[in-house]
Structure 1
């Protein structure tokens, strides 16, 4: 089953520091790295490395960062359906706390800001022909909504990773077979703070009431992922593959692994386990796209 990812690519400029600065403060950092990023691109790379047949739909510039995007997709086995335009490719500033692995991120989407509803409509046939469509909220929300609508018309499985956190238009959750928020994103969607597993179950149930068709899957960091379907709720433990080095891209790793598993016919709960394994490896490595494991590594981790 073919996977289509609608999202953005940005070049990640990552700065490692002993601690994150407070507002107005300058701190002396450590290592610096420049590499590929953007939630949609990271998820496509994760799915491609996990063995899925993936196409990436976005806009990138005719510049060195755009060349970087095409190169990383090719290396991961991801087909490019990117429009190359004269605007600059986007970039992101990522600050990583060396002590905890936590991060703070600012994204400037650049060319990808043009991934709007009209852009999606222009690629209707590509979206409609996919077996699974995965999107996020780094591009304008109307683009994500239109992609989900067209995917539904074509009979595709629809997956929304509602990141970064944002309010959604009425009815948009009803276009989603699966929604995959973290704690912050779940609260933004349904108004329920997720401080405990019980809270996560309530939030998952509320998202189903709001229209999610098959399951709300809350990613809970080191606690794992809570799978909430009608009549079923199960906490799937995280799969630790070693000491945490950096959490940047962990959610993207989960989502890419999840759709890759769905695409090969795994049951949803097993796909959650597979996504956890992909994420569990990714956090042991620095970087976003660069941290995504191969299928052989995931299979070995799952035993």
Structure 2
């Protein structure tokens, strides 16, 4: 039973995803025929906001769209999903962020054009400071300027809001950010980039130790079909992934992070939150698209699956 309604702030990107499905992803100079093309609401920030709303949280989005039809479409999408958009600005000088996603056999390759996401500034976050009062969790990613991410985590900590940093897309971050982060959630590739390319050949335990030493925070590393490994409150462990038919991995990490935030915001432990998030991630990869694949609370609670071995 839900303990309380989690209050989540998402500071991040808002994109429109242009998705092509094909049997083969072309190499340089090659042209292939695709099987399907769709335009789907996306962006890591917007994905996490919509995922959290569908899972029962009260969500406020802080971001920016362009003054184009895509921007209007994304604002309507967020509003229809129950996400607060009072602090989603419209920059008429920019285009809305776009992600070109090529999907082959459930795996994807993504190219992102930030557009209006580059207009999410510290001043923009400061204007939204009232929503930090009484909030439970701040979710933030790296598809907006790093200086804005830094300002957002500092503002959150000053209001006693827990911070979950999903360091995607991967980037080296300044050491100054880590005292303001409670939990960092990279995938395997992002964990290597965060720590340094020098340990790219290290085993998972070595990467985890290096990341813990760097960040001094709780860490969850997502590993796709291998599940997750974690170091929480001084305790190391792992949790398996569910066995599902993988259709499209787009937004899997976003839904996992949103689920962590919602469950933890409802006063469950992070270990309990991982178990909930694993179900959400499994359901997400079982469907096509970003926000189109995000499950509802009812779908998650009725999900029964077996683990990968």
| Same-fold call, TM cutoff 0.5 | yes
Question: 1 CA distance for matches of 2:201 and 2:225?
Answer: 13
The TM-score, its normalising length taken from structure 2, stands at 0.91
Distance, in Å, in 2 between the alignment partners of 1:275 and 1:225 is 10
What TM-score, normalized by structure 1, do the two folds share? 0.93
For residues 2-58 of structure 1, the C-alpha deviation after alignment (integer angstroms, 9 at most, x for no partner) is 110000111100001112111232222110000100001001111111111111110
CA 1:248–1:21: 2 relative to 1, 3 Å: same
Consecutive unaligned residues of structure 1, counting only runs of 5 or more, are none
> Aligned partners of 1:166, 1:261: CA distance in 2, in Å?
27
Any stretches of 5+ residues in structure 2 without a counterpart? 1-5
2:146 maps to which residue? 141
Distance in 1 separating the partners of 2:237 and 2:300: 22
Larger CA deviation: 148-157 vs 71-80: 71-80
- Contact map agreement 1:208 1:230 (CA 8 A) in 2: no
- Alignment partner, residue 162 of structure 1: 167
Contact (CA 8 Å) 1:254, 1:275: kept in 2 or not?
yes
Mapping of 1:193-272 within 5 angstroms?
Answer: 193=199, 199-213=203-217, 215-240=218-243, 242-272=244-274
**Structure 1 residue 107 and structure 2 residue 112: aligned?**
yes
RMSD of aligned residue pairs (Cα, Å) = 1.8
User: What does the per-residue CA deviation read over 1:267-290, in whole Å, with 9 as the maximum and x for residues that have no partner?
Assistant: 101111111111100101000011
**1:96 paired residue number:** 103
Residue number among 273, 277, 280 corresponding to 1:278 in the alignment: 280
Q: Is the 8 A contact 2:121 2:148 kept in 1?
A: yes
The aligned length equals 297
Deviations 1:284-303 (A, max 9, x none): 10000110000000001158
2:3 maps to which residue?
A: none
8 Å CA contact retained: 2:97, 2:116:
yes
In structure 2, the residue matched to 1:299 is 301
8 Å contact 2:260–2:273 — kept in the other structure?
Answer: yes
Counterpart contact for 1:16–1:30, Cα < 8 Å = yes
* Residues 157-196 of structure 1 aligned to structure 2 (within 5 Å): 157-191=162-196, 193=199
**In structure 2, how many angstroms separate the alpha carbons of the residues matched to 1:194 and 1:245?**
28
1:67-125 deviation digits (Å, cap 9, x = unpaired)? 2212222332211120122122111110111x3x1111111121111112232233333
CA distance in 2, matches of 1:153, 1:271: 24
Partner residue, 2:21: 16
Give the superposition deviation at 1:142.
1.1
Question: In structure 2, what is the Cα distance between the partners aligned to 1:54 and 1:302?
Answer: 27
The reply to whether residue 153 of structure 1 matches residue 158 of structure 2 is yes
Tell me the secondary structure at the aligned position of residue 300 of structure 2.
helix
- CA–CA distance in 1 between the matches of 2:224 and 2:232? 20
Aligned pair partner of 1:83 in 86, 89, 101:
89
Ranges of 4+ aligned residues in structure 1 off by more than 6 Å: none
User: More deviation in 132-141 or 87-96?
Assistant: 87-96
Q: CA deviation at 1:257?
A: 0.9
Give the corresponding residue for 1:27.
32
Per the alignment, in what secondary structure is the counterpart of residue 176 of structure 2?
coil
